[in-house]
Amino acid sequence: MALRPEFHFSSVLEHSALNNNFECFQGNPLNRLNLHRKSIKDVAQHTQSRFLSYRQLKVLFDQEKKQPTWLTYEFLFENNKNTNNEIKLTLDQCEIVLLGIGSRFIADRPSSITNTESTKIDNKLLNKYLLASEPTPDEYIYFALSIPTQFADNLPGTYMDLRSLLPQLSVIDAAICGQGRALLDWHASYQYCGKCGSTTNSLEGGTRRKCTKCNNTIYPRTDPVAITLVIHSDKEHVLLGRKATFPPFMFTCLAGFIEPGESIPEACSREVWEESGVIVDTNLTRYFDSQPWPFLGGQLMIGCFTSAIDETITLHDSELEDCRWFSRDEVGEMIQRSRDVNLDKNDKGLRIPPPFAIAHQLIYNWHSTTPKI
């Protein structure tokens, strides 16, 4: 049983391209056990526990099966030794977080599986399920852990950067790997208390940290980012920009962090004006969708459409290298290039981010069905 009925083992790239309201890193099926998080040491040694290893935030990946590598407690902490065959890795030496309980099929499925039937949830049993603290026989308890760099690592698989790995991942694998990366990144950044500078300890399955001196409790951080597709008053052009650090020929929606005291429409308006000089009507800003983004400290991308009331482009600073109004036909060609997995490396045509980015879905949805704003 899963909190979310969608069990998608198809490619996240293909699924994003076929489902215009789906965002990569959505679709995590795990029950995160918010009501019953025990001491990690008590749960980790459970025979039904499985671990996903990270090293410097790179995830352990089986390149043959095209899946993340899930390992048992016994393999990690009882049988596995370093290259000197002397020192065993211990649980206390790792940063570890509880991801949740879910189907064994997530870790044990054959590599040929691409999709499964939807998992039905009996609403009458849902409350009982939420209160459950033990896995059923057909479930595992899933963890993510970060192995210290001072330990030699001979685990099966290859550590790979999650962002570059996305085209090879399934929908579920991307969501779970993203959850693990975001939490481990947060832990690495909050080893010390922001109030008194003392060390902090991980609590409640890795979902809290507490100062050892002043008892300050720290919670995982998610930074909200407004990402906006600005539509011209003629309804046939949209505003896209690019930074100098972007891949060649790529343009995307304008985006920026939501500041304290700002509403989402106000953040959209401010960011668009700061980056492009274009003025939008906050009353016409409409929410589209959101996307967890487990990079740069962990963000929540909040996608919006809005309309311009002054289309004059003025680059106020050096944040954007270029910013333009693109016609519907031009956008159509950019979408095609971003979805072409066989695109010639020497192709110099303009493009947008790939389908697993919320920017792509914003642009595609405007191009295919003009938003009513």
Query: What φ, ψ does residue 148 adopt, rounded to 5°?
Result: -60, 145
pTM of the model: 0.88
Task: Sketch out the chain's domains with CATH numbers.
Answer: 12-180 (no CATH), 191-220 (no CATH), 223-338+347-368 (3.90.79.10)
One digit per residue, the tens of pLDDT, for the chain of length 373 reads 343 444 577 888 888 888 877 889 988 888 886 645 556 777 888 889 999 999 999 999 999 999 999 999 999 888 755 555 556 788 888 999 999 988 898 999 876 665 554 444 444 544 444 445 678 888 899 999 999 888 777 889 999 999 999 999 999 999 999 999 999 999 999 999 999 999 999 998 898 999 999 999 999 989 999 999 999 999 999 999 999 999 999 999 999 999 999 999 999 999 999 999 999 999 999 999 999 999 988 899 999 999 999 999 999 888 899 999 999 999 999 999 999 988 888 889 999 999 999 999 999 999 998 654 4
Do 173 and 75 touch, CB atoms closer than 8 A? no
Q: CA-to-CA distance for 242 and 24, rounded, in angstroms?
A: 22
The dihedral built from the CA positions of residue 297, 224, 322 and 14, taken in this order, carries a sign that is positive
pLDDT in the model for residue 267: 98
State the virtual CA torsion across 64, 345, 21, 358 in degrees, nearest 10: 100
Note the residue count of the chain.
373
Provide the terminal-to-terminal Cα distance of the chain, rounded to the nearest Å. Answer: 39
Of 110, 96, 128, nearest to 206 (Cα)? 96
* H, E, C per residue of 85-153: CCCECCHHHCEEEEEEEEECHHHHCCCCCCCCCCCCCCHHHHHHHHHCCCCCCCEEEEEEEECCCCCCC
Q: In 214-370, which residue ranges form alpha helices assigned H by DSSP?
A: 264-276, 328-339, 358-368
pLDDT at 99: 93
* Number of C-beta neighbours around residue 193 at 10 A: 20
Distance separating alpha carbons of residues 260 and 267, to the nearest angstrom: 10
Diameter of the chain measured on Cα atoms: 70
Helix (H) / strand (E) containing 300: strand 299-310
Decide: 12 and 112 in contact? Cβ < 8 Å: no
Nearest-CA neighbor of 178 among 261, 82, 300?
Answer: 300
Per-residue pLDDT at 84: 56
145 φ, ψ (degrees, to nearest 5): -140, 150
Question: What's the order of all strands across the beta sheet hosting 208-211?
Answer: 200-203, 208-211, 217-218
